[in-house]
Structure 1
């Protein structure tokens, strides 16, 4: 998400000569970079929100067509979505862990930051693997993309969410590598904070998708009527 320009090993410090580790950046420069990164993240999340809003409107509109077969019928996969509840738990734990890392970084607690940040990535990976498992179950039960418009939207919405989470894991990995290279915590606290904010956003977005995907046709009809789509 944000790119820190760090000087690696054998960097030259005018005051101390050549050093063996990353150069500590001035607090003013760190604060400026953090502000720029936060603005960039907010713009990105605004774009993502707009994208999902359009897809959700299309979802509601398409659900009013006669060939729509709800996935919440008694024998359908989402009649008892315990797999999705489990995946929601992983994402919630990841968000909590990263928030803990964020708070620890503010206090300068390196060990607690390491643990929280690492757990956030582990739980996020568990969520992605859990979603792949759900997709595999859908295919095994015959709920493929082309058999039902509701199936298509399920794969589309959960796939887009998973793709954005994978993008977050890329940013998480970049920061984790810097932790391994012992970059000063002061220079990484903003990255930890941005990861936490992004995970909170993905958790909120997932809760919205989960609620919508597991709703009844009557709920879709009420939303469509409210939005003037029927």
Structure 2
């Protein structure tokens, strides 16, 4: 439960920092200036799409926090045997991180009007996402071939369920990324395209952060962290 709360605090802190950069908490009635001082280069208010993404990510954070809370509560049962972590998950983590870097690069190059470079980065990020999902399937097959089946152990069930739910969110992100690639395949990238790429990158960074927490959970590092927190509190 402590890890779930800490995870929620971290995610909400990141979300608050991100929203503050979008001027969501600005107070225009307190800002100094006149109505006729507005210029075209002034930064506009936060787009509704960013607000919608922020709300959606908050819901996703709550969902995975509930999963983690149930995970830790179920661990206390006597019929719990830890599921070994396949080595390919290390590679999958690196691939997911690479996809995050590629989407960040795509957004930066799109803002600099380097459209061809941005398109290449978008396609590479899509390939990284597909590779991550393929790696997850290989990890599931490795566990099932070793006898760690879904219904044999609660730890197995949680691993398949949580990693599968994360994979579904990655699949949704790939669908959105594919739409962006199709819409930006020709012509210059305008502000709308840059916004779409930024939203995809934000979503990908968030899912990377979620996976890093899940990776620590599956590898057992989170248990050590919880024990450390308990020792500090007591």
Q: TM-score, normalised by structure 1?
A: 0.77
- Matched-pair contact (CA < 8 Å) for 1:98–1:192: yes
**1:191 equivalent in alignment to 2:186:** no
**Aligned counterparts, 1:2-151, within 5 A:** 35-71=47-83, 77-78=84-85, 81-151=86-156
**Aligned counterparts, 1:160-179, within 5 A:** 160-179=165-184
> Helix, strand or coil for the counterpart of 1:145?
coil
Please give the root-mean-square deviation of Cα atoms over the aligned residues, in Å: 2.5
- Which deviates the most, 111-120 or 145-154? 111-120
Runs of 5+ consecutive residues of structure 2 not aligned to the other structure: 1-39
Q: Greater relative contact order (Cα 8 A, min sep 6): structure 1 or 2? A: 1
Q: Distance in 2 between matches of 1:197 and 1:166?
A: 15
Q: Distance in 2 between matches of 1:101 and 1:214?
A: 32
Q: CA deviation at 1:225?
A: 5.9
1:71-96 alpha-carbon deviations (Å, 9 max, x no partner): 2xxxxx32xx4210000011011000
Size of the aligned set, in residue pairs, is: 192
